[in-house]
Amino acid sequence: MAANMVPVHSGKAGLDFKIRNVQVEDIAEVYKMLVANRPYVGLNSRYTYFLLARDFSDTCVVAEHEGKIVAFSTGYVPPNRRDTFFNWETVVKRGYRGYGLQKRLLLHQIKMANVKYFEGTVNPSNDASKRNFAKLAELLKAKCETKVLFSEADFGNDGHEAEVLYRIGPISQEALDSVMNLFG
């Protein structure tokens, strides 16, 4: 789907969110949100986010509430696995968590990427993301395999938790459409 896809409004959980592709002009606001929502987010340079917005906006999204960005989710289709969407980082602003926004963002990204498999990594201590990935697999009636992608030792035991890969799929278009309909 094109980068300038029609924005999707999601209001089934009580708040109205507009999910749309990220643009370079959003990054100043996105970066402030990332800084404010540490420590869970492995904050990267602004330049990284500019490049994501410039070159991967087809698969990176923001959610807005009343015109303000309240969530950001990045990812891409790996060139050597074109049937897969890899989710790199998702952040939902405090105060907007628990509305199912992470699940909605991921569903929209899978749909935009037009793929059969979802991949994402989670730190072992991140209960909300672990729960959400497992729930996505269950809702999509798809298999979910997990393995350590990068261990603590890979990160030089510098305090960075392991990154555990969740691979979900194959995902059918029918299942995706019906779950998206459920979540808005």
Ligand X SMILES: CC(C)(COP(=O)(O)OP(=O)(O)OC[C@H]1O[C@@H](n2cnc3c(N)ncnc32)[C@H](O)[C@@H]1OP(=O)(O)O)[C@@H](O)C(=O)NCCC(=O)NCCS
| Positions that interact with ligand X (CB under 6 A) | 37, 40-41, 89-92, 97-103, 126-129, 131-132, 135
Min. distance of Cβ 134 from ligand X in angstroms?
9
Smallest distance from ligand X to CB 103, Å: 4
| Minimum CB distance to ligand X smaller for 46 or for 82 | 46
In angstroms, what is the minimal distance from the CB of 90 to ligand X? 5
Residue nearer to ligand X on the CB measure, 103 or 116: 103
Identify which of residues 4 and 148 has a Cβ nearer to ligand X in the complex: 148
Q: CB of 2: closest distance to ligand X in angstroms? A: 26
Residue closer to ligand X (CB basis): 2 or 127: 127
Instruction: Report the residue closest to ligand X, judged by CB.
Output: 97
The residue count for the chain: 184
Pick the closer one to ligand X by CB: 4 or 125: 125
3-state secondary structure the chain: CCCCCCCEEECCCCCCEEEEECCHHHHHHHHHHHHHCCCCCCCCCHHHHHHHHHHCCCCCEEEEECCEEEEEEEEECCCCCCCEEEEEEEEECCCCCCCCHHHHHHHHHHHHHCCCEEEEEECCCCHHHHHHHHHHHHHCCCEEEEEEEECCCCCCCCCCCCEEEEEEECCCHHHHHHHHHHHC
